[in-house]
Amino acid sequence: MRLELVIGPAEAGRTIKDILRGPMRVSAALMRRAKTEGRIALNGEERFVTAAVAEGDRLVFEVPEEPCAVAPEKGEVELLWSDDGFFALNKPAGTFTHPTGRVNSGTLLNFALRLDPTARAVNRLDRDTSGVVLFARGAWAAALGAKLSFEKEYRALVFGAPQEGEIALPIAREAPHALRRVVSPDGAPSLTRLSLLETDGRASLVSLRPVTGRTHQLRVHCLAVGSPILGDGLYKTEASAALSRELGVTTQALHARSLAFTHPVTGERVVIEAEPERDFLKKYKL
């Protein structure tokens, strides 16, 4: 990516470093890399970042991109939204967001790199959760994306008929497990807002809005209030597991339906929505 700025009267007299870190919004890490790789030019000439700029000068920053070790792959995945800095995909259930220690192909990042070789995931979803995942186009956008604040809404099929309202229960790692979380007074404050959409008493379709972003928060909170997400093999009860088997729900019925944020470049509000690729919202319509 190439960033350019013509210096205006408000920036005249400031240093290149001030301009890069200010109006051009370049992270300190990227600027350090650029200084050693000769990617900063003022009026076509390489200059030290301590040099002052004048009105009318043209400052160019070539964003350094590290080669990605992940191989691009073609995949059947839905492109939900795209612009010059970011794009969003509808992650299928059963797909990892990015490679792990034992899985290095068939992930959403593999597919995203086919669309843009500089793609980097901004948010992530559990393997069996489907829905909106945002990607940045390159290191500069990724640095901006790391500072974004998201509003998220999920849809889930849960056991029983939970009460609407806020679930404010602290969450901690359950020792000695590396993965499992549990409600604990020693945990981090966690808040989820739950709305009941449809129910037949045995199971319910709910809307979940996480205010905090703890690992497995929605799954842990639903279990804690007695309504585990159906199909969840980690956070379940005997009754929820039995109903999941009866209904044929084999992966957690959780879908990231929408992701909203203020665009870090344009300042516009962006709302990205994804219809579930699984049929649990239709097949089990209550």
Instruction: Kindly list the catalytic residues.
Output: 126
CA gap 101, 134 in Å, rounded: 22
Pick from 78, 113, 117: nearest CA to 99: 113
Q: How many CB atoms lie within 10 A of CB 41?
A: 16
How far CA 121 is from CA of 89, 135, 166, 202, 215, in Å, comes to: 10, 4, 29, 37, 17
As a three-state string, the secondary structure of 212-231 is: CCCCCHHHHHHHHCCCCECC
Question: Which residues face 154 on adjacent strands?
Answer: 208, 256
CA gap 265, 257 in Å, rounded: 24
CA gap 127, 131 in Å, rounded: 11
CA gap 147, 37 in Å, rounded: 26
Contact in structure between 217 and 196 (CB atoms under 8 Å) = no
Q: How many CB atoms lie within 10 A of CB 59?
A: 22
How far CA 154 is from CA of 26, 125, 126, 128, 194, in Å, comes to: 33, 11, 13, 13, 10
Residue indicated by tokens 């051009």: 24
Contact in structure between 160 and 202 (CB atoms under 8 Å) = yes
